């Protein structure tokens, strides 16, 4: 960026404002078009038939009965399923998972697709699916973490090692004067975005158009191109809005691939939208874990060792293992650190990345174990964490790119009123006699960047057009990214048109890992800066411009004009500069990403501290989180309103994890028996009584040029543990299994 304008001079006129969602009105009035809102001419409706056993073979499908039903057009089974160019059991790229697309009659988990029915109406297809009345040869399913012997994970998700060791673990244990050795369990959880997975697929020869909510819009072209044997450029994927993704809309799945195949088979556009119960199987989930934590401390309360082992469930045919133990890396200054993972293969759909994958379940167990250690040491839980505050990344010794965690602790504690907390449990009651407890946890989430491209056009009238295929899952990409882009162009927000959410635009990268704003934002900003750099070159070499002869470096851009920095009386408008140059639009390009050297020099994380108050009925044990205060340091905040909403949302995920979400498997059949929203609970408004977010200012010169980290997922980390710890503090009972239920507390009464 050395030959461009210093960004700092132009950064902040739009960024930093609490601009309301630009797509908000469209969404609340129903004008926003989600994938399944598309109804092309000649549309057929697809319904997939889910397996009702978890392991075995399909021996019979009554295709004749289904086809005889009025309105049923076609039934796709392994017998007549057209060939796919790419094998669904191959893993040709990083985000490819193996999936079931009617390769054969094997059933590998409940709810896997075993047939697809196409109808003129959704009702006809639904009834056709029922009439298939599958018959099976059933094998005993493997259910739960103990169903099979575990295996050691050598290479974990996304290439991370299965085991990480820093320092001498045995020596750390030997040096400990006090220790805890505790085991926590977390259940299988299913993403369940409000908008279930959907696709409307249309073929025109070898050109494929997909209306499909997707978290990785441009990358997915190559994915679908691979399975259908067409070049990536032949795929147009439109995903202007997602009704939530949570990680599960970044990966190709069987039902969607089958619907696309059905469109090619029938020569008609096909729509498929999963039913709620079908969300529990083929579209990923967070695998169940059992985590053992061993912590040792010396006399001064310093951790001599932190050992975190996680066993997690995965499928019999693919490898995603919730990498929970990694949550213990990067946070506390323990003398020795070990994180290790094991998997167990059972008859479930393959887990996948879900809402802080690994970090959420790992943090839940870690923060509770830390609380247990503090309790044993007789230390205030916050004091214990401060004693083990890491000034450099534990193990690696790398400096943090920025770390305002101390300020998070201080400001969060202050706002919450933590100082008055009694050390012992069961000390506090409210006026109604409810037990009151306070707990806390540290929040930590990596600040990654992926790769993105963007284009910024200055139009002859001086307005801007910025383009990148970003994904808005509801987090506010339409707004926050436009704010950054407008700053890059030196234009007010309303002078910038933003095109996004379609695969024919420059690659906006993946909306995941809490790195989307950082990555796509950097690309957009750089593209704007590039356009303005070109414009500046034109102006300073144009004798008709008031800027003629000024050096590049002395020019600033603001509100659609270029100024001489030291002399605001010398300025020229974008429109005038372009008009004199012949009235052509001017195009800048930019990219976002992080060089490996930069990534290697610093440890990069967002940090936070979450404080929870719970009330528990002393006899009936109903639990309510009455207050949550989260203080987060996450680099530069582009839009405080949106960022706070993200952090609120993350903390609500935390309530959900701590108290509600759990898929309950029938141990005999391996089927999930609460696969709807009446049974699979997430918090309702009444469960979210008091939420407060503080964002702690943080300048980070290393994460990227704009200093952006991420706020998407960090809110869930810290929160689950804080709630578990608060429940202990209220009741004196440690529940080492999530979600914490009424009957768990009753059992200890």
Secondary element (H or E) of residue 4: none
Query: Does 679 sit near another protein (CB under 8 A)?
Result: yes
Residue 250 has φ and ψ, to the nearest 5°, of -105, -5
Nearest one of 84, 63, 83 to 74, comparing CA atoms: 63
Shortest distance, position 621 Cβ to another protein, whole Å: 8
Could you give the CA distance from residue 266 to residue 203 in angstroms, rounded to a whole number?
10
Query: Per CB under 8 A, which region of 260-268, 355-363, 590-598, 676-684 contacts another protein?
Result: 676-684
Instruction: Return the CA Rg of the chain.
Output: 27
Q: Which is nearer to another protein, 178 or 674 (CB)?
A: 674
Sign of CA dihedral 122, 127, 128, 132: positive
Give the one residue of 414, 617, 640, 641 binding another protein; rule: CB under 8 A: 617
Told to check if 613 binds another protein by CB under 8 A, we report no
Q: Per the residue annotation, which of 359, 698, 713, 743 is the catalytic one?
A: 713
Under the binding rule (CB under 8 A), the answer on residue 659 touching another protein is: yes
Q: Is the peptide bond before 542 cis (omega within 30 degrees of 0)?
A: no
CA–centroid distance for 484 within its chain? 21
Query: Residue from 9, 52, 534, 591 that binds another protein (CB under 8 A)?
Result: 52
622 near another protein, judged by CB under 8 A: yes
The residue (of 229 and 667) whose beta carbon lies closer to another protein is 667
SS (H, E, C) 42-67: CCEEEEEEECCCCCEEEEECCHHHHH
* x/- track of binding to another protein for residues 269-298 (CB under 8 A): --------x---------------------
Q: Return the closest-CA partner of residue 364 out of 288, 297, 418.
A: 288
Q: Which residues contact 661 (CB under 8 A, 6 or more apart)?
A: 187, 189, 190, 680, 681, 682, 739
**Interface stretch with another protein, choices 148-156, 574-582, 615-623, 701-709 (CB under 8 A):** 615-623
Query: Which of residues 597 and 743 has its CB atom nearest to another protein in the complex?
Result: 743
Rounded to a whole number of angstroms, the minimum distance from the CB of residue 126 to another protein is: 6
Nearest CB to another protein, comparing residues 3 and 743: 743
713: annotated active-site residue: yes
Task: List the structure tokens of 231.
Answer: 């070049």
Residue 122 C-beta: closest distance to another protein, Å: 9
Query: Cβ of residue 730: shortest distance to another protein, in angstroms?
Result: 14
Per residue, the 3-state secondary structure of 483-505, as one string, reads: HHHHHHHCCCHHHEEEECCECCC
Q: Which CB, 111 or 157, lies closer to another protein?
A: 111
User: Does position 392 bind another protein by CB under 8 A?
Assistant: no
Check binding of 668 to another protein (CB under 8 A).
yes
CA-CA distance, 579 to 394, in Å (whole number)? 57
DSSP state of 659: I
* CB of 677 vs another protein, minimal distance in Å: 9
660 part of the interface to another protein, by CB under 8 A: yes
- Which of 29, 94, 685, 699 contacts another protein by CB under 8 A? 685
Buried b (16+ CB within 10 A) or exposed e, 708-729: bbbbbbbbbbbbbbbbbbbbbb
Of the candidates 183, 427, 589, 674, which one interacts with another protein according to CB under 8 A? 674
Q: Which of 168, 617 has the CB closer to another protein?
A: 617
Whole-number minimum distance, CB 664 to another protein, in Å? 5
Q: Which of 624, 641, 736, 737 binds another protein (CB under 8 A)?
A: 624
CB 6, min distance to another protein, A:
52
Q: Is 119 or 501 the residue whose CB approaches another protein more closely? A: 119
The binding track of 139-178 with respect to another protein, each residue x by CB under 8 A or -, is ----------------------------------------
**Closer Cβ to another protein, 80 or 135, answer by number:** 135
Beta strands in 395-458 (DSSP E): 428-429, 435-446, 452-458
Q: Does 667 bind another protein (CB under 8 A)?
A: yes
Q: Is 200 in the site for another protein (CB under 8 A)?
A: no
Q: Which is nearer to another protein, 130 or 292 (CB)?
A: 130
User: Site for another protein (CB under 8 A): which residue of 127, 375, 487, 613?
Assistant: 127
Site string for another protein, 361-390 (x = CB under 8 A): ------------------------------
3-state secondary structure at position 137 = strand
Q: Is residue 65 close enough to count as binding another protein by CB under 8 A? A: no
Q: Alpha-carbon distance 655 to 684, whole Å? A: 10
185 binds another protein (CB under 8 A): no
In the sheet that holds 605-616, the strands lie side by side as 428-429, 435-446, 605-616, 623-633, 691-695
Which residues, in sequence order, are CB contacts of 586 under 8 Å at separation 6+? 457, 458, 531, 534, 535, 538, 578
Among 121-129, 349-357, 590-598, 709-717, which window interacts with another protein (CB under 8 A)? 121-129
Select 252 or 434, whichever has its Cβ closest to another protein.
434
Q: Under the phi-then-psi rule, with left for phi > 0, alpha for psi from -120 to 50, and beta for the rest, what region is 257?
A: alpha
Can you give the three-state secondary structure of 726-740, one letter per residue?
HHHHHHCCCCCECCC
Collapsed DSSP state (helix, strand, coil) of residue 656: helix
Residue 139 or 673 with smaller CB distance to another protein: 673
> How far apart are the C-alpha atoms of 387 and 503, rounded to whole Å?
49
Question: CB-based contacts of 11: which residues, under 8 Å, 6+ apart?
Answer: 487, 525, 706
- Joined together, the tokens standing for residue 505 give 């635009």
Binding site for another protein (CB under 8 A): 52, 70, 123, 126-127, 130, 277, 434, 615, 617, 619-620, 622, 624, 659-660, 664-669, 673-674, 678-679, 681, 683-687, 741-743, 746-747
Catalytic residue positions? Answer: 713
């Amino acid at each position: 960026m050395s030959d461009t304008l210093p960004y700092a001079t132009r950064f902040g006129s739009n960024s930093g404002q609490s601009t309301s969602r630009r797509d908000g009105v469209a969404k609340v009035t129903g004008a926003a078009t989600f994938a399944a809102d598309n109804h092309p001419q000649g549309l057929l409706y697809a319904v997939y038939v889910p397996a009702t056993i978890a392991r075995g073979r399909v021996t019979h499908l009554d295709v004749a009965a289904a086809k005889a039903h009025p309105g049923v057009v076609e039934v796709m089974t392994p017998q007549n399923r057209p060939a796919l160019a790419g094998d669904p059991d191959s893993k040709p790229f990083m985000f490819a998972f193996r999936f079931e697309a009617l390769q054969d009659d094997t059933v590998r988990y409940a709810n896997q697709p075993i047939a697809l029915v196409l109808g003129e109406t959704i009702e006809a297809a639904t009834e056709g699916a029922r009439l298939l009345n599958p018959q099976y040869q059933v094998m005993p399913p493997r259910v739960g973490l103990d169903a099979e012997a575990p295996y050691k994970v050598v290479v974990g998700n996304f290439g991370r090692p299965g085991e990480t060791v820093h320092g001498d673990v045995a020596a750390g244990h030997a040096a400990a004067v006090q220790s805890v050795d505790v085991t926590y369990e977390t259940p299988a959880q299913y993403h369940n975005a409000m908008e279930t997975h959907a696709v409307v697929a249309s073929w025109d020869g070898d050109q494929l158009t997909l209306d499909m909510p997707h978290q990785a819009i441009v990358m997915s072209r190559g994915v679908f191109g691979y399975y259908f044997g067409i070049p990536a450029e032949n795929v147009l994927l439109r995903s202007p809005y997602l009704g939530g993704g949570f990680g599960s809309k970044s990966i190709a799945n069987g039902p969607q691939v089958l619907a696309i195949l059905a469109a090619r088979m029938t020569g008609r556009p096909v729509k498929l939208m999963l039913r709620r119960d079908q969300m529990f199987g083929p579209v990923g989930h967070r695998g169940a874990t059992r985590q053992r934590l061993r912590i040792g401390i010396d006399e001064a309360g310093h951790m001599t060792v932190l050992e975190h082992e996680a066993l997690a469930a995965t499928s019999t045919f693919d490898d995603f293992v919730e990498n929970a133990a990694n949550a213990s890396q990067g946070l506390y200054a323990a003398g020795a650190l070990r994180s290790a993972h094991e998997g167990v293969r059972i008859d479930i759909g393959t887990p996948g990345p879900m809402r802080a994958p690994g970090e959420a379940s790992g943090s839940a167990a870690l923060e509770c174990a830390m609380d247990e250690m503090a309790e044993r040491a007789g230390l205030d839980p916050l004091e214990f964490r401060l004693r083990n505050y890491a000034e450099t990344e534990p193990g690696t010794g790398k400096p943090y790119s920025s770390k305002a965690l101390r300020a998070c602790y201080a400001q969060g504690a202050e706002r919450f009123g933590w100082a008055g907390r009694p050390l012992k449990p069961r000390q506090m009651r409210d006026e109604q006699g409810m037990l009151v407890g306070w707990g806390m946890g540290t929040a930590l989430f990596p600040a990654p960047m992926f790769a993105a491209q963007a284009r910024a056009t200055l139009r002859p009238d001086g307005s801007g057009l910025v383009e990148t295929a970003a994904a808005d899952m509801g987090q506010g990409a339409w707004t926050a990214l436009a704010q950054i882009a407008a700053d890059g162009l030196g234009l007010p927000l309303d002078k910038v048109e933003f095109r996004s959410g379609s695969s024919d635009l420059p690659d906006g990268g993946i909306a995941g890992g809490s790195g989307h704003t950082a990555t796509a934002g950097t690309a957009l900003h750089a593209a704007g800066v590039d356009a303005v750099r070109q414009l500046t070159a034109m102006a300073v070499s144009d004798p008709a411009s008031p800027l003629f002869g000024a050096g590049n470096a002395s020019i600033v851009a603001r509100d659609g004009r270029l100024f001489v920095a030291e002399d605001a009386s010398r300025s020229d408008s974008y429109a005038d500069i372009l008009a004199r140059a012949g009235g052509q639009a001017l195009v800048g390009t930019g990219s976002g990403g992080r060089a490996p050297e930069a990534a290697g020099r610093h440890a990069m994380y967002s940090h936070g501290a979450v404080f929870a108050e719970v009330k528990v009925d002393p006899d009936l044990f109903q639990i309510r989180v009455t207050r949550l205060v989260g203080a987060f340091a996450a680099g530069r905040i582009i839009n405080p309103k949106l960022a706070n909403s993200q952090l609120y949302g993350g903390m609500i995920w935390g309530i959900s994890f701590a108290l509600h979400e759990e898929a309950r498997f029938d141990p005999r059949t391996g089927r999930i028996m609460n696969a709807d929203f009446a049974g699979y609970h997430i918090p309702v408004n009444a469960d979210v009584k008091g939420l407060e977010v503080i964002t702690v200012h943080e300048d980070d010169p290393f994460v990227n040029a704009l200093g952006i980290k991420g706020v998407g997922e960090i809110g869930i980390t810290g929160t689950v543990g804080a709630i578990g710890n608060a429940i202990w503090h209220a009741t004196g009972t440690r529940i080492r299994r999530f979600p914490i239920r009424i009957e768990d507390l009753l059992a200890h009464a």
